Chain A
Amino acid sequence: MTRFRRVAVTGFLPAVLALLVAVVLLGIVLRILGADPLTSLVALFDFGETPRAQANQMRSWVNGSVPLFLSGLAVSIGFRMGLFNIGVEGQYRIAGLVAAWFAATVALPAFLAIPVTIVVGMATGALYALIPAVLKVSRGVNEVITTIMLNSIVGGLIAYLLRGPFRDPALGDSASGRTAGVREEAWFPGFDNPFGWLGMDTPSRPLGGFLIVAVLVGVIVAVGLSRTRFGFNLRASGSNPEAAATSGVGASRMIVQAMLISGAIAGLVGLPQVLGDDHGYGAESFALGFGFSGIAVALLGRNHPLGIGLAAILFAFLNRSGPSLQNVNVPPSVVLIAQGVIVLSVVIVNEVLRRRLLRMEDRKAAADHPAPPQQGAPSGTAPAGASA
């Protein structure tokens, strides 16, 4: 019974409760701003009229959740040991560009093209994440500030690379920056008829196959965190740095390793688009902002791969509803507010429930092992608290 309650309190209950709180808050906000909350809610579930439109909506939902999941996973690796890698945004952008350029210029045998390009992307993300790690370890510079500065620097760096060295030579001078097209052997394959077994129509374009990579990475991270020595050290450094350091886990080394892994996963975020959809990196077409939403996704998913997956699916669901909201005259940016409200409610509800649980356990412990009377333990209230 108590075990069940503990799972409920630490597991799905906070997320569900927070979502409810967020929905109510959002309704109030929308009402104040003059929009109709119920119309907005209904519009969220509008997948279009024709079977083809519905299949397309499903496709953009699933496709949209993949980068969010990877980004949330990257952020969570840092969070797990108390590191704030706000730099996923910059890491995935530069990694996407370098991977696109690599896949466009380097000729590789067909069976190597995709894996090597993925490794290049991961290595770029990891290297870019290494800068804040080294600055933190060697000079004690706060990683929040360095990663944010590096995010800003990436914008200029990419603009420069797309004007100069990485630019498609066939482009005119006035065209917006773009790499050359990715070689065909590095195109990531997709699923042509993914929703057939649901009885749905086939979407206009195939569903991105990078979903498989994302799931694979999720499983590896989940197992790595819970079943390996490295994962244990990582979690130990996060929950009690002093104890971890005393037991021989080097803090500096853990910081560098965690940032490298986080950056490597961040390096994957842009690849579905670069290798699967656009077959290149365009300054205007490459989607931005996944790094920042990844922070929200990681918080909502409570830094657990499964939770991050669910959070990514929820966020992607909200993201794809922008046009349908516009149809009922609700500004699409409601989605951004919704995501912000959800995250804030989640962290607050988590904290409140965690405290309740701690108090419950204290009372239970007091009831199980009554303290000597002179210490004045409130044993009389304990059974009531435990059964509440």
Chain B
Amino acid sequence: MSARTAPSAPAATHAAALRSRRNRLLLLVGVGFVALSVTRVVSGEGVLTASGTINAMVWLTLPVALAGLGGLVCERAGVVNIGLEGMMMLGVWGAGFAGWRWGPVAALIAALIGGALGGLLHALATVTFGVDHIVSGVAINLLAAGAVRFLSEITFLPATGGGPTQSPPLSGSIPTFDIPVLASGPDLLGKVESTGLPVVGDLAGILRGLLVGITPFELLGVAMFPLTAYLLWRTALGLRLRSAGENPWAAESLGVDVVRMKYLAVVWGGALAGLGGLFLVMFTGSYREGMTNGRGYIGLAAMIFGNWRPGGLAAGASLFGYADAVRLRSQNSLAVLALFIFAAIIVIVLGILWLRRGRRLPGAIFIGIGVAFLLGYIGLDSLPNEVTTLTPYIVTLVVLTVSSQNLRMPKADGLVYRKGEGH
């Protein structure tokens, strides 16, 4: 009897752990949503859950999320990729150039190629020549910054509307569509949103923002997440790729071509970062130098926040995208200031959870931070404009500092691998 139950016990606890994790996630999403609704009602800042904000959030989340996904693919194969920022720059430039010359589909292809070329260079330096991953990444960022300026000077400078730091506007139009009935025509969600009811109105605004003005490109970008997760965790190729990041020497002994896996991952990751750049160009309508603005690095931060998993990474990236969208869509700093209430609710809830688990010190610290946020909201009339533009960076820093450090990175991440030099 006991012999039969013993082997299944770990499986049962594993399933239970999964279920409890899912419950906790649902709880977190629920608490977050209610907190957001409360914040909107208390502050009266409709922009917080307006469909326009959520629509912008998708555009602003995708660059960060795809850069992070690129980093995830690389690091799962054991290559740290600080060069994502540079790969994104190359993708952005490619999208700007091809989009101006030939239209949106060409922009998509050029963004992928630009990023992949950056990835190829990183793979060459780190995998073939064994250069330190961070050194190579930093060098690629420097090189990419010079390359895009140079390329802009020889291509955009003579064109009307272009200059050494920006491209002429994209040619052709990006096809978009709305989901009928819900978001167009009768526009049911729009009607509910305009009532401004607590919770219901906010939910309608958020849903409508996701269903209105959809482009095939966004769908492609979002589809990369399930696709990458499937390839990495459900296929033989993914298993080999991850084995190169966990224990390349063991993988090698089992006949996995580790070098090829790493090349594949880094080129693939670079292409994903380039794809992220495409959305920046499409959102703005042209290429501008410096438009990546650290998003490659923020993507890496989102990846760490998400514990090297696509779901967590997407959640982290959405947080940054949301903060960025609120900042862009609001007329003044009041909406950003209203986010203080949101932050306060979340931090206080986390603090209470700590207290209930008997951890007095972290609980008290979290609740203290929450109270500070509330006092900040009450005490400040407005934030300086310069500070609101920093929202995404400050959110990144705070989230990285506050979030759980109980992380597990791939075991051989960042190590230089040489074929046949196993230990």
Interface residues on B, range: 35 or more
Given A144-B82, A160-B387, A355-B130: A344 touches B136 (CB 8 Å cut-off):
yes
In the complex, the answer to whether A34 meets B294 with C-beta atoms within 8 Å is: no
CB proximity of A281 to chain B, nearest CB, Å: 16
Contact code string B159-172 (vs A, CB < 8 Å = 1, else 0):
00000100000000
- Using Cβ atoms and an 8 Å threshold, which residues of chain B touch A135? 397, 400-401
Of A145, A153, A339, A355, which is within 8 A of B390 by CB? Answer: A153
Instruction: Contact check, A340 vs B146: say whether CB atoms are below 8 A apart.
Output: yes
Total A-B residue pairs with C-beta atoms closer than 8 Å?
Answer: 130
Query: Contacts A86-B138, A140-B405, A348-B129: A336 and B150 contacting too (C-beta < 8 A)?
Result: yes
A261-282 vs B, Cβ < 8 Å mask (1 yes, 0 no) = 0000000000000000000000
Q: How far is the CA of A51 from the CA of B68 in the complex (A)?
A: 54
State whether the Cβ of A366 lies closer than 8 Å to any Cβ in chain B.
no
Q: Which residue of A lies closest to B389 (CB)?
A: A156
Task: Select from chain A the residue with minimum beta-carbon distance to B392.
Answer: A152
Report the stretch among A178-186, A212-220, A292-300, A370-378 that lies at the interface: A292-300
Query: Quick check: B145 and A145 within 8 Å, CB to CB?
Result: no
> Interface readout for B126-158 with A: 1 if CB under 8 Å, 0 if not?
000111101110111111111101100110000
Task: Count A-side interface residues using an 8 Å CB cutoff.
Answer: 48
Q: A153-B393, A156-B390, A331-B154 known; A336 and B135 CB under 8 Å?
A: no
Q: Which one of B257-265, B270-278, B297-305 contacts A?
A: B297-305
Contact B149 A156 (CB under 8 A): no
Chain B at the A interface: SS class: helix
Residue-by-residue, is A321-356 near B (CB-CB < 8 Å gives 1, otherwise 0)?
A: 000000000011111111111011001101110010
A347 touching B293 by the CB < 8 A rule? no
User: Does the CB pair B125–A347 fall under 8 Å?
Assistant: yes
A332: B residues at CB distance < 8 A: 153
A337 with B143, Cβ < 8 A, contacts A139-B401, A142-B304, A347-B136 known: yes
Q: How far is the CB of A349 from chain B (nearest CB, A)?
A: 9
Q: For B148, give the chain A residue with the smallest CB separation.
A: A333
Binary per-residue interface labels of chain B (399-422) against chain A in the complex, 1 for a CB within 8 Å, 0 otherwise? 011000100000000000000000
Q: Are A336 and B386 in contact (CB under 8 A)?
A: no
A281→B86 CA distance, assembly (Å)? 30
* Contact A351 B139, CB 8 Å, known A135-B401, A149-B294, A160-B384: no
How far apart are B96's CB and chain A's nearest CB, in angstroms?
Answer: 16
CA distance A34 to B153 in the complex (A): 13
Question: Roughly how many angstroms separate A54 CA and B393 CA in the complex, as a whole number?
Answer: 45
* Distance of A312 from chain B, by nearest CB (Å): 15
Interface of A, helix, strand, loop or mixed by DSSP: helix
Q: Is the CB of B146 within 8 A of A337?
A: yes
**Other-chain contact of B384, A84, A142, A164, A352 (Cβ < 8 Å):** A164
Q: Which residues of B contact A355 (CB under 8 A)?
A: 130
A146 at the interface (CB under 8 A from B): yes
Is A314 an interface residue, CB under 8 A from the partner? no
Contact, CB under 8 Å: A146 / B149: no
Decide yes or no whether B365 CB sits under 8 A from chain A: no
Cβ–Cβ contact A149 & B147, under 8 A? no
Q: Within 8 Å CB of B384, what residues of A?
A: 160, 163-164
Known: A84-B134, A150-B397, A153-B390. 8 other contacts (CB 8 A): A84-B138, A86-B138, A149-B301, A156-B387, A157-B386, A157-B390, A336-B145, A339-B142
Can you report 11 residue pairs joining A to B where beta carbons are below 8 Å apart? A33-B154, A135-B401, A145-B297, A148-B297, A153-B393, A336-B145, A336-B150, A340-B145, A348-B125, A350-B131, A355-B130
Residues of chain B touching chain A, judged by Cβ–Cβ distance below 8 Å, are 82, 121, 125, 129-132, 134-136, 138-147, 149-150, 153-154, 164, 293-294, 297-298, 300-301, 304, 384, 386-387, 389-390, 393-394, 396-397, 400-401, 405
